[in-house]
């Protein structure tokens, strides 16, 4: 089940640059994946593997939301968590807020998931959009 919630949190992590392609080696992506896997392992679940294609698709959706200003889930055969913040948000704050939400936590702790993709887009004008997808 994919559910999105507008999240308010602060701290600096995002780069001002949004045009470059993000992949599984991106520092912000690495942090989101690490924190997500910590939640899973704490519950006895296997860690997720970061998938480059899922990450590319997640980044494209984050870019789409930033450019259109629409905060909505994409359709697809995946579970999805999304977040929007009017400021730059740390990976810790984003994952913490997802874990506090039952629907988002269910996506993170889905025992059937094996892959994760994370994408983000930020601009000073509209803020940050973060997308987390699971397969």
pTM of the full structure:
0.84
* Segment 10-61, tens digit of pLDDT: 233 444 444 445 799 999 999 999 999 999 999 999 999 999 999 999 999 9
DSSP string, 9-72: -------S--SSPP-TTSHHHHHHHHHHHHHHHHTTPPPPEE-HHHHHHHHHHHHHHHHH----
Domain 27-134 fold is Pathogenesis-related Protein p14a (3.40.33)
Through-space distance between the first and last CA atoms of the chain, rounded to whole angstroms: 12
């Amino acid at each position: 089940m994919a559910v999105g919630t507008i999240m308010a949190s602060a701290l600096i992590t995002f780069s001002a640059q949004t045009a470059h392609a993000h992949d599984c080696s991106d520092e912000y992506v690495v942090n989101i994946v690490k924190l997500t896997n910590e939640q899973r392992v704490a519950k006895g679940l296997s860690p997720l593997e970061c998938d480059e294609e899922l990450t590319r698709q997640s980044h494209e959706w984050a870019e789409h939301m930033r450019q259109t200003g629409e905060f909505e889930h994409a359709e697809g055969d995946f579970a999805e968590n999304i977040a929007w913040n009017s400021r730059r948000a740390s990976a810790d704050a984003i994952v913490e807020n997802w874990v506090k939400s039952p629907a988002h936590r269910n996506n993170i702790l889905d025992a059937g998931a094996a892959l994760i993709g994370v994408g983000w887009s930020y601009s000073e004008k509209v803020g940050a959009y973060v997308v987390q997808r699971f397969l």
